[in-house]
Structure 1
Amino acid sequence: MTGKPPEIADDRTAAAVGRERLLARTFVELADTLVTEFDVADFLRTLVEQCVRLMEVSAAGVVLVDSQGRLRMAAASSERAGLLESLAVQAEDGPCIDCLRDARPVRSTDLREDAIRWPRFAAAAAAAGFRAAEAVPMRLRRMVIGSLTLLHTEPVREDADRTALSQALADVATIGLLQHRAIVRGELLTEQLQSALNSRVIIEQAKGVLSARSDDPDMETAFTALRGYARSHHLRLADVSREVADGTADIDAILAYASRSRS
């Protein structure tokens, strides 16, 4: 009679189901950046920790491109991995650097064999106890925002499934980060537009007050006076307008700038 004992088969089935559930939960977590208290650092920490759990690698790290185009070590599952990724960034040497430059997966199944290719990274990795590394780009179409690196304490074989899964996780994380950036920028733009609209209302109110108090009821003259006073005193036009509207401004002093502009 052939076959595995039922208890072994059950254990493997349970492990597979558990991994599938963890994988599904991870994808949901990485895709959900619409929460109010979204924390980028926590998000990236989740990414590297789940990579370690899902792919049974020794450590993982993320390097991102900042707004100035510089590379930054953004997250790591361990202190050793963080130091190694930081060195790679500083030395511009290692799989994560080549991965970012070429926008494709880069791997070393045995870093001892790639000591010439990445001399500083290979030496630092060996000192930290890592023997293999593979990096996948964090990208959306042609935009590459960083790289995800998996680290191993022993040499490994090439594994297409592991590469595909790490790329999928990196892609989902990239979409989540870009979505968050778009929301932040959108909120900032919305605030700026709303502020501009609110200022416009206040300015119109102030123009009305000045026009009513002036010998010249022309609204453009009132605006000229407002702007002239604000510029002369290095004040925001909206702030001067607000003082006019709430009655705390020196109206005569402001109106004097209307006559100055005509002279």
Structure 2
Amino acid sequence: MDGRHRGPLWRAIASAEDVAGRRDSWAQTVCLACVETFDRVDAAILALRGGSHAEEVLGASDPWAADLAEAQYTVGEGPGVEAFAAGTPVLVSDLRVEQVRWPGFAQAALDGGVAAMFAFPLQFGAIRLGTLELIRRGPGGLPSDELRDAVLAADLGAAALLRQARTAEVEGHEFAPDPVRSFQDVNVATGMLAAQLHIGLDDAFTRLRAHAYGRNRSILDVARDVLDRRIVLDELAE
């Protein structure tokens, strides 16, 4: 990949602006530039992660890519989850051969028309922030030059996020980029469930996740049903 071809991606990452509610916010621009830059990559996701509970999808090149990120959050597995936990890239050129590795996620992704995923941790030294994920509709790996550039894009993306956070601190306001898919409703529903059933937050989150998985639903949809009282919390007691 020549320098001219990479230019839009490097410029997108270098631009530290994030405008709430706009499709051309920083993370969205980076995701769109990834699709433009990498041959045969059909979508991209940029997610902030802080463990199994804490996640925000900052950018997704397409709504179906955001749905894919939500599917990983619902079942707690997948390339993005694993890349963040391990701190190393997870490269999957054919999801059909990973159905034993990620039984809850792989089939859902395949049913959605996804054939390959490549997840790169956003990390700077010992600080791990999230993941950059590239998605393909067809099977096949990334060429070596694109793999190298994807790793570099993830490293530069992590540095840009830290720079945004430090700028916000200096200016005296909270660093709160506007996500394209937020899971805050899950956090609130988890707290409600924990308080009513007198259980820990981890146990409450696990029950929400199990309820969603058992009914082939998104955990975000289940959480919103809990908040809107469409699900009685006693249903989640077991």
TM-score range, shorter chain: 0.5 to 0.7
Are the structure 2 counterparts of residues 161 and 71 from structure 1 closer, same or farther at C-alpha, using a change threshold of 3 Å?
same
1:73–1:89 CA contact under 8 A, matched in 2:
no
Query: d(CA) in 1 for partners of 2:64 and 2:51?
Result: 26
The answer to whether 1:55 aligns with 2:38 is yes
Instruction: Give the aligned length.
Output: 169
Give the Å deviation of 1:24: 2.3
- Secondary structure of the residue aligned to 2:172 is helix
The 8 Å contact of residues 92 and 141 in structure 2, kept in 1 or not, is answered as no
Q: Which residue of 2 aligns with 1:148?
A: 132
Q: More displaced, 107-116 or 68-77?
A: 68-77
Corresponding residue SS for 1:80: helix
1:69, distance to aligned residue in structure 2 (A): 6.9
Structure with more of its chain in helix, by fraction: 1
Q: Secondary structure at the match of 1:188?
A: coil
Q: Does 1:119 align with 2:103?
A: yes
Does the 8 A contact of 1:66 with 1:72 survive in 2? no
Ranges of 4+ aligned residues in structure 1 off by more than 6 Å: none
Unaligned runs of 5+ in 2: 174-238
Using a 3 Å threshold, how does the CA distance of structure 1 residues 50 and 29 change in structure 2: closer, same or farther? closer
One-letter code aligned to 2:74? Q
- How far is 1:67 from its partner? 11
The corresponding residue for 1:39 is 19
Distance in 1 (CA, whole Å) between partners of 2:168 and 2:135 is: 33
Among candidates 129, 134, 143, match of residue 113 of structure 2? 129
Find the aligned partners of 1:49 and 1:88 in 2 and give their Cα distance: 21
Scaled by the length of structure 2, the TM-score of the pair is 0.65
Counterparts of 1:85 and 1:68, CA distance in 2: 13
Q: Does 1:29 align with 2:23?
A: no
Q: Distance in 1 between matches of 2:95 and 2:52?
A: 31
Q: By how many angstroms is 1:131 displaced?
A: 0.8
Query: What TM-score results when the alignment is normalised by the length of structure 1?
Result: 0.59
CA distance in 1, matches of 2:50, 2:26: 16
Larger Cα Rg: Structure 1 or Structure 2? 1
* 2:171 counterpart SS class: helix
- Structure 1 counterpart of 2:70: 86
Q: SS at the partner of 1:182?
A: helix
Please tell me whether the aligned partners of residues 120 and 132 of structure 2 are also in contact (alpha carbons under 8 angstroms). Answer: yes
Q: Percent identity?
A: 24
Secondary structure at the aligned position of 1:154 is classed as: coil
**Could you tell me how far apart the structure 1 residues matched to 2:147 and 2:104 are?**
24
Tell me how large the CA RMSD over aligned residues is: 2.3
State the shift of 1:124 in Å: 1.3
In structure 2, the CA distance between the partners of 1:91 and 1:67, relative to structure 1 (3 Å rule), is: closer
Where 1:137 maps in the other structure, the secondary structure is strand
Determine the structure 2 residue equivalent to 1:108: 92
Residue 85 of structure 1 deviates from its aligned partner by 0.9
The code of the aligned residue for 1:167 comes to V
How big is each residue's C-alpha offset from its partner over 1:133-170, in whole Å with a ceiling of 9 and x where there is no partner? 11011111111101011111111035332221111111
Q: Partner residue of 1:20?
A: 3
- Please identify, of 138-147 and 155-164, the stretch whose mean Cα deviation from structure 2 is larger: 155-164
